[in-house]
Structure 1
Amino acid sequence: MHSTLTYSRQVVVQPSGDINVNNAESLQKQLAATVTAIEYSHLLVDMTGVKSLDSAGLMVFVSTLTLAQQLGKQLILFGISPSVRIVFELTQLDRVFEILDGQSLVELTAA
């Protein structure tokens, strides 16, 4: 399940549960549609509701980052749990993604 919130120049997508081979395609389609259809500069992904992430789920974010960069937009991940963050760290993708720690949705959307 995912929800989407829209602010002045930002869109927030809030995936939840496990992101894996069973639901990665659905999330990929939602993120791609969000990146291409809406006029904004930042796509914020609130990961607080994500329990786990497998390689298929990780590829969703890699694909979305690539698309966002092609369109001159920023993809920012925040609210990542330690168990999900380790997936980014083990693959060294934490060096590729902008991952914010300790910031709430209110703080990020106030800018």
Structure 2
Amino acid sequence: MQSIQSALTIVQLSGALNAANARTLQAQLVEHITADHSAGLMVDMSGVESLDSAGLVALISALRMARSLSKRFCLCSVPPSIQIVFELTQLDQVFEFAGDFAVKAA
């Protein structure tokens, strides 16, 4: 896990990922992905409370951008209530899931 931490930029999401903030979320994720120093992005979803279709579209857009740049994009610490959304939409077959990840305070 240490090599993943040093190679990927880690972004922690929280609250609702929905139509109200999907464009901002997408822009932030793309900004991190396109950074020259990043080998990819690990999205910590442990604080996410809800996810709608607009939130999914933002994540899918970021995934597509990462793939177009040959960078890694993975989700981690996805709560069960959010994991079911990925399963129902069959996006659990599309995204890489990295299990649980504990961010250590500096």
Q: TM-score, normalised on structure 1? A: 0.83
Whether contact under 8 Å (1:8, 1:40) holds in the other structure is no
Root mean square deviation of aligned Cα: 1.6
Measure the CA separation in 1 of the matches of 2:37 and 2:53. Answer: 30
Whether contact under 8 Å (1:43, 1:76) holds in the other structure is yes
Question: Percent same amino acid among aligned pairs?
Answer: 48
TM-superposed deviation, 1:37: 1.9
TM-superposed deviation, 1:100: 2.2
- For structure 1, the residue ranges without an aligned partner over 5 or more in a row are 1-6, 107-111
The one-letter amino acid paired with 2:44 is D
Name the counterpart of 1:22: 20
- Check if 1:36 corresponds to 2:19: no
The one-letter amino acid paired with 1:16 is S
Whether contact under 8 Å (2:32, 2:38) holds in the other structure is no
Aligned length in residues: 100
* 1:31-51, Cα deviation, whole Å (9 max, x unpaired): 011111242222000000000
- For structure 2, the residue ranges without an aligned partner over 5 or more in a row are none
